Amino acid sequence: MPAVLRSLPTPEAADLLELTRDLVDRELAPRVAAFEAAGEFPREVFRTLGKAGLLGLAYPEEQGGGGQPYEVYLQVLEELARGWSAVAVGVSVHTLSCFPVAQFGTPQQQERWLPDMLGGELLGAYCLSESHSGSDAAALSTRAVRDGDAYLVNGTKAWVTHGGHADFYNLMVRTGQAGPKGISCLLAAADTPGLQPLPPEKKMGMRSSPTASVLLEDARVPADRLLAAEGEGFTIAMSALDGGRLGIAACAVGVAQAALDVAVDYARERRQFGQVIADFQGLSFLLADMATQVEAARALYLSAARRRDAGQPYGPQASMAKLFCTDTAMRVTTDAVQVLGGYGYVEDFPAERFLREAKIMQIFEGTNQVQRLVIGRSLTRP
Partner 1 sequence: MNIVVLVKQVPDTWAERKLDATDKTLDRASVDVVMNEIDEYAVEEALRIQADQGGEVTIVSMAPDRGVETIRKALSMGADKAVHLSDPALHGSDAVQTSYALAKVLGTLEYDLVIAGSEATDSRMAIMTPLLAERLGQPQLSGARKVTVDGGTVRIERQTDNGYDVVEASTPAIVSVVEKINEPRYPSFKGIMAAKKKPLTTLTLADAGIEADRVGLASAPSQVVEFSNKPPRQAGQIVKDEGDGGVKVAEYLASQKLV
Nearer of residues 51 and 377 to partner 1, judged by Cβ? 51
Kind and range of the H or E run holding 281: helix 281-309
126 binds, among ligand FAD, partner 1, none (CB under 5 to 8 A by kind): ligand FAD
Nearer of residues 137 and 287 to ligand FAD, judged by Cβ? 137
152-155, Cβ contacts within 8 angstroms, sequence gap of 24 or more: 152/218, 152/219, 152/220, 153/186, 153/188, 153/194, 153/195, 153/216, 153/218, 153/219, 153/220, 153/221, 154/216, 154/217, 154/218, 154/219, 155/130, 155/216
What ranges make up the beta strands (E) of 59-149? 124-127, 143-147
Contact call for residue 127 and ligand FAD (CB under 6 A): yes
Question: x/- binding map, residues 299-338, to partner 1, per CB under 8 A?
Answer: ----------------------------------------
Contact call for residue 87 and ligand FAD (CB under 6 A): no
12 binds, among partner 1, ligand FAD, none (CB under 5 to 8 A by kind): partner 1
Quick one: which of 123, 124, 142 has its CA closest to 132? Answer: 142
Size of the site for partner 1 (CB under 8 A): 13
161 binds, among partner 1, ligand FAD, none (CB under 5 to 8 A by kind): ligand FAD
What is the closest distance, in whole angstroms, from the C-beta atom of residue 265 to partner 1 in the complex?
Answer: 17
Residue type, 266: Y
Report in angstroms the alpha-carbon separations of 166 from 82, 211, 222: 24, 11, 18
Q: For residues 206 and 45, give the distance between their C-alpha atoms in angstroms, rounded to a whole number.
A: 15
Contact call for residue 135 and ligand FAD (CB under 6 A): yes
Query: CB count, 10 Å around CB of 1?
Result: 15
Burial 275-303 (b: 16+ CB within 10 A, else e): eebbeeeebeebbeebbebbbebbebbbe
Q: Which of 36, 71, 357, 365 is catalytic?
A: 365
Q: For residues 361 and 318, give the distance between their C-alpha atoms in angstroms, rounded to a whole number.
A: 14
- Our measurement of the distance from residue 304's CA atom to the centroid of its chain's CA atoms, rounded to an integer in Å, reads 16
365 in catalytic set: yes
Q: Is residue 349 classed as helix, strand or coil in its secondary structure?
A: coil
54 binds, among partner 1, ligand FAD, none (CB under 5 to 8 A by kind): partner 1
244 binds, among ligand FAD, partner 1, none (CB under 5 to 8 A by kind): none
23 binds, among ligand FAD, partner 1, none (CB under 5 to 8 A by kind): partner 1
Contact call for residue 373 and ligand FAD (CB under 6 A): yes
What is the closest distance, in whole angstroms, from the C-beta atom of residue 155 to ligand FAD in the complex?
Answer: 13
Nearer of residues 284 and 367 to ligand FAD, judged by Cβ? 367
Q: For residues 210 and 285, give the distance between their C-alpha atoms in angstroms, rounded to a whole number.
A: 38
Q: Catalytic site residues?
A: 365
Residues within the interface to partner 1 (CB under 8 A): 12, 15-16, 19, 22-23, 48, 51-54, 57, 66
Residues within the interface to ligand FAD (CB under 6 A): 93, 126-129, 134-135, 159-161, 203, 211, 360, 363-367, 369-370, 373
